[in-house]
C-alpha cells in the first residue's frame, strides 16, 4: 500500500476574526502548509476542503474552487460537508486518493467563519447538523443534546460534574503555550463548576467556544517524498469512518458513540495497530462529556472508566496517555469546518517534536485523532505514526 506522508501543515490562530473572510483565513493556512512542505504549486493534483456553514455565515456555496484559488492552486477541488467532521473527512479522502495511486500530492483542510454572526444566529446555523424534523423543530440544541448524553452516561456508569470539570481544566492548561489557541488561560475546577449553567449538567465552561479559523495539510506519497527529498517523517497509517442515526431518539445508546467505535476499529485495522499502541490522542471535545465518550469509543478506556481519567491525572501532560495537548476544542477553539484538519496538524507537530507541548510526548511514535459530526452521527479517526 502506498505510504501517505504529511509534508507540511498550516494553521491560522483560532479565535475571533469577524473582519476577515473565509477565503482569507484558508489562504493563510494553505500557504503556510505549502511553504512548509516546499512542494511546487504545479505538482498539486487536487484539493479536499471541509466547510459546514459557509452558505449561511457568508452566503457562499461552491466553496471548493474558491478554496483552491485562495491556496494559489490551479487544481480540481471538492468541498466536503459532514458537520463538525467536515475537514476530517477531507483529510480521509486525500489519504484515500494517494493510496489509490491516482495522486501523489494533495492539499486538504478546512475553514469556518462564525463570529461575524451573533450567538443566536450561530446556534441556529449549527442546529442544522441535527434532525430538522424531529429535533430542531422541538427546540433541540447541541448543548441540550450533549447534556442528555451526559445524563445518560452518569445514570449508567456514575460520574459527576467535577469529573467533567477536570477535563476542561486539563485542556485549558494544555492551551497555554499553543500559539494557535483561542483561550490561553488557566481555569480551576471551581471556575468550571461555578460558570453559568447551559443545559444541566453542562455549564458554560464545559462547552467549546464560537471560533473562526482554518487548517491545511500537504499530503504526499512516500515515493514522492523520497524522490524530492522532503522532510516528512509523519505518515497517516490508518483511517476510518463511521456513521449512526442522525437523531438521538433513533439511537440504541445515548452514552456510547457507535459511529466513532466503527471508525476507530477501521482505522486501527488499517494501520495494523491496537488502542494499546497509542501514545497520544487529539479528540473531539466540543463538550467535556464528548472527550469522555471519545476515549471510550477509541478503545482507550473501558465503558464507564474514562469519566475519571482527567481527575486521576491519566490524560494530563504528565499522565500515561496525554489527550488534547493542543488545548482541544474546549480551549484551542472549534471552527467546525477546520477542526478535523487542525487535529491532524497538531498531531503532526506533536510527533515531529516542534509543538510547544511535544516535550510531554518526546518518545511518542503513534497518535490518534478523533473528529465527530453533530452528536457523533458521523465520525472519522486517523492513526498517525513517525517513520524512520
Task: Show which residues are catalytic.
Answer: 84, 334
CB-side neighbour CA atoms (13 Å) of 214: 29
Location of C-alpha cell 512542505: 37
Q: Which helix (H) or strand (E) holds 93?
A: helix 86-99
Half-sphere exposure of 274 (CA within 13 A, CB side): 2
d(CA 181, CA 334): 10
DSSP conformational letter for 369: E
Closest CA to 181 of 333, 18, 10: 333
Whole-number Å distance between alpha carbons of 259 and 113: 27
Name the DSSP letter for residue 18. T
Say how far apart CA 114 and CA 87 lie, in whole Å. Answer: 16
Contact 368, 381 (CB under 8 A): yes
Amino acid at each position: 500500500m502506498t505510504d501517505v506522508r504529511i509534508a507540511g501543515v498550516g494553521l491560522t490562530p483560532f479565535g475571533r476574526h469577524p473582519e476577515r473572510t473565509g477565503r482569507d483565513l484558508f489562504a493563510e493556512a494553505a500557504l503556510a502548509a505549502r511553504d512548509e512542505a516546499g512542494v511546487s504549486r504545479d505538482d498539486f493534483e487536487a484539493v479536499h476542503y471541509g466547510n459546514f456553514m459557509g452558505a449561511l455565515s457568508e452566503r457562499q456555496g461552491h466553496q471548493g474552487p474558491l478554496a483552491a484559488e485562495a491556496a494559489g492552486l490551479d487544481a480540481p477541488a471538492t468541498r466536503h460537508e459532514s458537520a463538525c467532521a467536515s475537514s476530517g473527512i477531507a483529510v480521509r479522502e486525500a489519504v484515500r486518493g494517494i493510496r489509490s495511486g491516482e495522486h501523489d500530492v494533495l492539499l486538504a483542510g478546512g475553514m469556518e467563519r462564525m463570529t461575524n454572526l451573533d450567538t443566536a444566529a450561530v446556534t441556529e446555523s449549527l442546529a442544522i447538523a441535527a434532525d430538522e424534523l424531529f429535533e430542531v423543530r422541538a427546540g433541540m440544541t447541541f448543548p441540550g443534546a450533549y447534556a442528555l448524553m451526559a445524563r445518560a452516561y452518569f445514570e449508567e456508569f456514575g460520574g459527576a460534574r467535577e469529573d467533567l470539570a477536570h477535563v476542561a481544566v486539563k485542556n485549558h492548561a494544555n492551551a497555554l503555550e499553543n500559539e494557535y489557541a483561542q483561550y490561553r488561560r488557566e481555569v480551576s475546577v471551581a471556575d468550571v463548576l461555578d460558570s453559568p449553567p447551559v443545559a444541566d449538567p453542562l455549564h458554560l465552561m464545559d462547552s467549546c467556544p464560537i471560533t473562526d479559523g482554518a487548517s491545511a495539510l500537504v499530503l504526499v506519497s512516500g515515493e514522492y517524498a523520497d524522490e524530492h527529498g522532503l522532510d516528512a517523517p509523519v505518515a497517516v497509517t490508518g483511517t476510518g469512518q463511521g456513521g449512526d442515526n442522525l437523531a438521538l431518539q433513533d439511537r440504541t445508546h445515548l452514552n456510547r458513540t457507535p459511529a466513532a467505535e466503527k471508525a476507530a476499529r477501521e482505522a486501527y485495522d488499517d494501520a495494523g495497530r491496537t488502542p494499546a499502541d497509542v501514545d497520544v490522542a487529539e479528540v473531539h471535545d466540543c463538550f467535556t462529556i464528548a472527550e469522555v465518550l471519545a476515549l471510550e469509543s477509541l478503545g482507550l478506556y473501558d465503558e464507564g472508566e474514562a469519566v475519571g481519567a482527567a481527575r486521576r491525572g491519566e490524560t494530563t501532560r504528565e499522565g500515561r496517555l496525554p489527550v488534547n495537548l493542543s488545548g482541544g476544542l474546549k480551549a484551542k477553539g472549534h471552527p467546525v469546518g477546520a477542526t478535523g484538519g487542525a487535529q491532524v496538524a497538531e498531531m503532526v507537530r506533536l510527533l515531529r517534536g516542534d509543538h510547544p507541548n511535544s516535550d510531554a510526548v518526546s518518545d511518542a511514535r503513534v497518535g490518534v485523532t478523533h473528529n465527530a459530526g453533530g452528536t457523533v452521527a458521523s465520525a472519522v479517526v486517523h492513526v498517525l505514526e513517525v517513520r524512520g
